[in-house]
Amino acid sequence: MRQMAKKVFFPAVAMVLAISILFWGVGAAAISAIPPWRDSVGNVNHTEKITGTYLMEQSAAQEDTLLIFGSSELRTTEIPTHPANFFAGKRAGFQVDLIGRGSCQSLIHAMQIAASGDALGDKKVVLITSPQSYVEDGIAPDLFMANFSTQQYLELLADESLSDEVKTYLSRRVAELVEEYKALPDAAPVDPAVEALAKHTTDPTLFSGMRNAALAPYYGFSRWLYDLKDKVSVRGILAIGEDFPAPTELPAIDWAAEEESAIAEGKAMSGNNDFWMLDDYYTTYIGSRLERQKDRENALSYSVSKEYDDLRILFAICREKGIEPLFIHVPLHGKWSDYTGFDAGRRAEYYENVREIAAEYGVRTLDLTGHEYEEYFMCDTMHLGWKGWLAVDQALIDYYYDS
């Protein structure tokens, strides 16, 4: 046995140490070469903000950033009132930071914020969830895996300030969605160690103490390696970025004039349809197929959805982190929903479900659901438009300067 240890165990340990030392040198060099945070990075919803932690941490370290966690609505930068455009050049004295992309639903944002350590404790954080997320099963397994970050998952599990309840809930959802994803015909391979960790965190009796002890160094080294990879991946983004000095004197904003401008821009950009949707969007996704959309959502319901519990855990994590977020309650497109058969009664039920959860956790909410029939409030079937974003812009200023 002793000879076997000399032949196998000790050389293996030596190899691990050698690899660790090598990576440590490479890592130190890579980290020392990372450029500082640049304001312009905030205007783009880079993938690295979703898959890593470094950009969010650097953004949060700035005195004048406002972090906005959202989904596909963040990409509608062709709308002049989109926050990245409206607050260009720190017009109101702060820089927005867009975090999220399509299918970044409550569970994804919950894991991002849970993995943030203490970076966001005193920051202004905005949360946006999309109505279409509230289907019965919540986030789809393939869309979850497209936005899942192993790095963030390992970080949140290592955070001793997070409750066991939060870690167990997130791990249960990870294990559940990974299992569903693996059953898909075109599923990519999933790291079995991550899957095992999620299952063990959900039910510690599943694996022996010996197996857990054996995997502990792997998880620790993986955290370090993912952190290094994250830092290396953002160097190019930061290197080409630029800073925007805030005006020495903030100009007053004429909101009535801004609304007139938003309406004029909406009219100019949505002239080929009666739903106040972007011309290109309408032509591409509806156009000649309009008649086929009539009453196709007669059976659609958001009354029951796993997304509601994911929203609860998102708010619970904010509470545990000491974050007092602003939640944007986005409406559906009333006129379009009526046309497709998703009636006002079912929409109202969804709106109230979300309101009750926000109230349960005492979350400050900008409730825009009363604007679902307003012209130019939405720019397509589901995303905020010219007047919608303008309402958000005004609320962001109030929230940012409210101590």
CA pair distance 379, 333, nearest whole angstrom: 9
pLDDT score, position 380: 97
* pLDDT for the residue 22: 53
For residues 147 and 108, the answer to whether their CB atoms sit within 8 Å is yes
> Residue 399's pLDDT is what?
98
What pLDDT, on a 0 to 100 scale, did the predictor assign at position 246? 86
Give which of 97, 89, 105 is closest to 124, Cα–Cα: 97
Burial class (CB in 10 A: 0-12, 13-18, 19+), 179: middle
Predicted local distance difference test score (pLDDT) of residue 32 = 61
pLDDT of residue 100: 92
295 dihedral zone (left: phi>0; alpha: psi -120 to 50; beta): left
The confidence score (pLDDT) of residue 221 equals 82
Q: What is the reported pLDDT for 215?
A: 63
Contacts of 120 (CB under 8 A, 6+ apart): 56, 60, 67, 113, 321, 323
Q: Are 149 and 111 in contact (CB under 8 A)?
A: yes
Domain ranges of the chain: 1-33
Q: Rounded to whole angstroms, how far apart are CA atoms 377 and 371?
A: 7
Output the tens digit of pLDDT for each of the chain's 403 residues.
344 334 333 343 344 445 555 555 555 555 668 999 999 999 999 999 999 999 999 999 999 999 999 999 999 999 999 999 999 999 999 999 999 999 899 999 999 999 999 999 889 999 999 999 999 999 999 999 999 999 999 999 999 999 999 999 999 999 999 999 999 999 999 988 888 889 888 876 665 555 556 567 777 888 889 999 999 999 999 999 999 998 889 989 999 999 999 999 999 999 999 999 999 999 999 999 999 999 999 999 999 999 999 999 999 999 999 999 999 999 999 999 999 999 999 999 999 999 999 999 999 999 999 999 999 999 999 999 999 999 999 999 999 999 7
Rounded Cα distance, 206 and 261, in Å: 60
Note the pLDDT of residue 24: 54
